[in-house]
Structure 1
Amino acid sequence: MADALKIGVAGLGTVGASLVRIISERHENLATACGRAITVTAVSARDRTKDRGIDVTSATWYDDPAAMAREGDIDVLVELIGGASGAAKDAVNAALERGIHVVTANKALLAEDGVALAALAEEKGVLLNFEAAVAGGIPVIKAVRESLTGNTMTRVYGIMNGTCNYILTRMEKEGLSFEDCLKEAQRLGYAEADPSFDINGNDTAHKLAILTSLAFGCEISCDDIYLEGISNITQDDIRAAAELGYRIKLLGVAQRTGGGIEQRVHPTMVPHDTVIAQVDGVTNAVAIESDILGDLLMVGPGAGGDATASAVLGDIADIAKSRPGAQTVPALGRPAKSLEPYKRARMRSHEGGYFIRMRVADRIGVIAAIARRMADNQISLESIVQHSANGERDAPTKTIIMVTHATTELSIRNAVKAMESDGYIVGKPQVIRIEKP
């Protein structure tokens, strides 16, 4: 049996502690499966005295993870600190410069510097693995990077943030407000004290940018993503969606178009009878459309210590099974220098159906004015429903709910802008895209 693979773990939070525990508990099985033992020989975290429920007394402790990467008796750095800069970035760079393998769950770092890190890993002849960075325990990175080689992928999309999916699920099933669901998510540990990164869509955007690069062979571009969060979703939207046969999910969508690549993250109405509509709670789902295989949907735990540690351990096992001198798999599926420059498609060229909810003054001619603005922009309506505000027949405002046939983003925005200029809309209209997977 080959010499043991020596691991240095930077970050002993929920995921790091789970990883160390699993490696200890399954030491013999891992050695049999990988052909060599996997041993944690070094660790780094901020607090040496914290009880994490694991035994790391046999490992060398480093207060500085970058020092561990530069000097530690390790073959692999496992970076579980998080963040696009600071200690995480320093440690990963130090490890790659030294010529040792890196496993990371850090989607923010990869979204910002993934191409440069991939190039450095290739230069040094080592692996940069990051299965846990996207969709937790779902093995989507390996599927796109390796298993689907030869396929031409046209679209990837999915539910990639458990916090948002949990909130939207509870809003629908229990009739709670967004604010109440967010507080409960924070109490249960599904949302951070500052949840903005999740609920504004940034977390999903980072994951989507990584998947886009792998699927379409282009450079990572997390700054070219149309972004909307879920904080403006109300019970009115949830109920209207249900009445129309839809559920609301926060989706990340990337697709190849004639004008380039379109990336977008936003609340989306999906038909109730589709598989992705049934994905509830903190569960994630990623769908891939390709020419040879067709449509593939992977569903599973998107977060949590054990789920994420499972993905990290899979990456470590791949390294343990590799042999010195063997060809390494490029981190982004192809050599970094051969990645195509990212060409952004105009978001406003997106085509599909739309849900529009607006409050309007209850006066003669409003419905006719709405119909005229829609016709002016070549928008065909599938349905239009009018409700009195708060159920009062004599209320001064009405709620208008429209569902359009396929149209363009530009047409919808122009129509809404024109209606706002007409002066009969009260407040801000709600516009939600409809996806029909």
Structure 2
Amino acid sequence: MRTRPLKVALLGCGVVGSEVARIMTTHADDLAARIGAPVELAGVAVRRPSKVREGIDPALITTDATALVKRGDIDVVVEVIGGIEPARTLITTAFEHGASVVSANKALLAKDGTTLYDAAALHGRDLYFEAAVAGAIPLIRPLRESLAGDTVNRVLGIVNGTTNFILDRMDTAGAGYSEALDEATALGYAEADPTADVEGFDAAAKAAILAGIAFHTRVRLDEVHREGITEVTSADLASAQRMGCTVKLLAICERAADGKSVTARVHPAMIPLSHPLASVREAYNAVFVEAEAAGQLMFYGPGAGGAPTASAVLGDLVAVCRNKLAGATGPGESAYTGLPVSSMGEVVTRYHINLDVADKPGVLAQVATVFAEHGVSIDTVRQKGKDGEASLVVVTHCAPDAALSGTVEALRKLDTVRGVASIMRVEGE
């Protein structure tokens, strides 16, 4: 075993960073044995140096992150501060000064991963980011390495624990959205400002990363269709139950049938109870991968939290340190296909539409005519009327999303349609 330690700089010492530091300290001997050399925490960059951080030598604390990553003796920089800047500049500076990087920064990777990949390649450094998607679940490495010889056609998953917890409570306990969100906040699953989670931004960033790796093409965050769960109602969950379904916020990345384009989207959807993702409860994550040779694979586990995320970070740290000792680098960006990203309108999907209509003869015929005019076939219809009003629930067969959206807009203009109570896509069949 090499006696000179590999030196690690830690950027950020919050929930995840403190766990990384703790594990590095308490499992130092095991890590050294697995890597082939000791690993030493050489510095920790923070914003509030006066805060007491148990188990971390105060002499390691600094507020000058730039000076830390510029040190010529740093072998690996672990970035867990999040956000776009200064994280982007710190990472590229680390590459320039000889360090490889382990990051958990999904927002930066989704928005400007190209800059990071190019900088890593230019300087011959590693960029690993298992912790950026689905916490402790091994997902990035299987896609980048284990399935490197296969063709992945679809990635379908629950990649945000907060929204899964909220929808699960609405489904199993009959809670309303606000009540379920309050419970998620009280348990620490939701931030004080839950916008990134409930509006789908967090899941969209992860979808961009997954699509890029799965399909060997660059997918920008602004190319991911995004819808959150704030409009999902208890009535939607009840309707899903009547269909033998449940509602999940899904990240869906697909290769077109002809292989010439890809799509990435995040939105709530009904999925059958028979689908493996339907049984994913509370704040857990799960990702379903469909590949040509490997078939269907499912990855499941805790998708967030200090210890689970730190586990993924440490796994990357071990891999990067081994590469460093071997004088090599691991897999970099693979974007050789250069496939275009299609718009949501081109996605073929199904709709569940709940209409408030007048309860009188001929209404169903009018509604059916609108569907036919837009080339959308109806699968099932359920109608319930009372006191001159009726609820009409229509589930369609597969059709382009643009045709389905056009159908809904035309339905809104019918005099007999008093309102479109809800619209939700149906997936997983």
Does TM, scored on the shorter chain, surpass 0.5?
yes
Task: Report the secondary structure of 1:19's partner residue.
Answer: helix
Alpha-carbon separation, structure 2, partners of 1:48 and 1:399: 60
**Number of the residue aligned with 2:298:** 297
Q: Measure the CA separation in 2 of the matches of 1:325 and 1:25.
A: 25
Mapped pair 1:7 → 2:4: no
Partner SS for 2:222:
coil
Partner of 1:55: 55
Tell me which amino acid in the other structure corresponds to 1:238: L
1:68 corresponds to 2:60:
no
Where does structure 1 lack aligned partners over 5 or more consecutive residues?
Answer: none
Is 1:92 paired with 2:91?
yes
**Displacement, 1:276?**
0.8
Aligned to 1:192: 191
User: Match of 1:163, as an amino acid?
Assistant: T
CA contact (8 A) 1:66 1:92 kept: no
Aligned to 1:211: 210
Distance 2:146 2:202 in 1: 25
Instruction: Return the offset for 1:387.
Output: 3.0
Aligned to 2:255: 256
Contact between 1:118 and 1:330, CA under 8 Å: does it hold in 2? no
Question: Alpha-carbon deviation of 1:37?
Answer: 1.6
> 2:354·2:420 contact (CA, 8 Å) conserved in 1?
no
2:414 to 385, 407, 422: 422
| Aligned equivalent of 1:147 | 146
After superposition, the C-alpha distances for 1:177-219 in whole angstroms (9 at most, x for unaligned) are 1111112211222111111111111111111111111111111
Go from structure 1 to structure 2 and tell me whether the alpha carbon gap of 1:102 and 1:374 turns closer, same or farther (over 3 Å shift): same
> Which piece of structure 1 moves more, 292-301 or 64-73?
64-73
Write out per-residue CA displacement over residues 139-194 of structure 1, whole angstroms, 9 at most, x where no aligned residue.
10000001111101111120011111010000001111111111221122211111
| Contact residue 288 and residue 295 of structure 1 kept, 8 A | yes
Describe the superposition over 1:376-416 as per-residue Cα deviations: whole angstroms up to 9, x where unpaired.
2232222211234xxxx32x532221112222212211221
What residue in structure 2 maps to residue 287 of structure 1? 288
Instruction: Answer with 262-271 or 350-359: which moved more.
Output: 350-359
The secondary structure found in structure 1 opposite 2:355 is: strand
What corresponds to 2:278 in structure 1?
A: 277
CA distance in 2, matches of 1:186, 1:425: 38
Farther-moved stretch of structure 1 (171-180 vs 88-97): 88-97
Aligned partners of 2:156 and 2:252 also within 8 Å: yes
CA distance in 2, matches of 1:92, 1:323: 17
Q: How far apart in 2 are the matches of 1:165 and 1:141?
A: 21
Do the aligned residues in 1 keep the contact of 2:76 with 2:321 (CA within 8 Å)?
A: no
8 Å contact from structure 2 (residues 219, 341) kept in 1:
no
37-46 or 371-380: bigger deviation: 371-380
CA distance in 2 between counterparts of 1:385 and 1:237 reads 14
Quote the Cα distance in structure 2 between the aligned partners of 1:209 and 1:156.
Answer: 11
Query: 1:148 and 1:341 mapped to 2: Cα distance?
Result: 19
Partner of 1:386: 383
Structure-2-length-normalised TM-score: 0.95
Residue 6 (structure 1) shift: 1.1
Contact between 2:163 and 2:229, CA under 8 Å: does it hold in 1?
A: yes
Number of the residue aligned with 2:390: 398
Quote the Cα distance in structure 2 between the aligned partners of 1:288 and 1:138.
13
Secondary structure of 2:115's counterpart equals helix
Question: Alignment partner of 1:219: what SS?
Answer: coil
Rounded to whole Å, the distance in 1 between the matches of 2:362 and 2:118 is 62
The DSSP-based 3-state class of the residue aligned with 1:423 is coil
Q: Paired residue for 2:165?
A: 166
Q: CA 1:280 to 1:72, structure 2 compared with 1: closer, same or farther past 3 Å?
A: farther
- How many pairs were matched up? 426
Distance 1:59 1:87 in 2: 23
Q: Is the 8 A contact 1:103 1:129 kept in 2?
A: yes
Aligned to 2:105: 106
Any idea what the Cα deviations from partners look like across 1:411-434, whole Å, max 9, x if unmatched? 211221111111333344422111
Report matched runs for 1:329-408 at 5 Å. Answer: 329-332=330-333, 334=334, 339-388=336-385, 393-394=386-387, 396-408=388-400
Tell whether the 8 Å contact from 1:8 to 1:68 is kept in structure 2 after alignment.
yes
- The question of 1:235 aligning with 2:266 is answered no
CA contact (8 A) 2:164 2:249 kept: yes
Report the alpha carbon displacement of residue 114 of structure 1 after superposing the two structures with TM: 0.8
Partner of 1:175: 174
Structure 2 unaligned runs (5+)? none
Judge which range, 314-323 or 376-385, deviates more: 376-385
In structure 1, what is the equivalent of residue 32 of structure 2? 31
Q: Name the CA distance, whole Å, in 2 between partners of 1:66 and 1:212.
A: 32
CA distance in 1, matches of 2:407, 2:86: 48
Give the secondary-structure state (helix, strand or coil) at the position aligned to 2:329: coil
Q: Which moved more, 1:88-97 or 1:263-272?
A: 88-97
The answer for the alignment partner of 2:328 in structure 1 is: 327
Q: AA paired with 1:386?
A: Q
CA RMSD of aligned residues (A): 1.7
Question: Displacement of 1:72 after TM fit?
Answer: 7.0
The answer to whether the aligner puts 1:78 opposite 2:75 as a matched pair is no
Whether 2:418 is the aligned partner of 1:435: answer no
Q: Secondary structure at the match of 2:182?
A: helix
Amino acid at match of 1:11: G
| Contact 1:41–1:59 (Cα < 8 Å) also in 2 | no
Q: TM (normalized to structure 1)?
A: 0.93
Q: Quick one: which amino acid aligns to residue 370 of structure 1?
A: V
Distance 2:330 2:318 in 1: 14
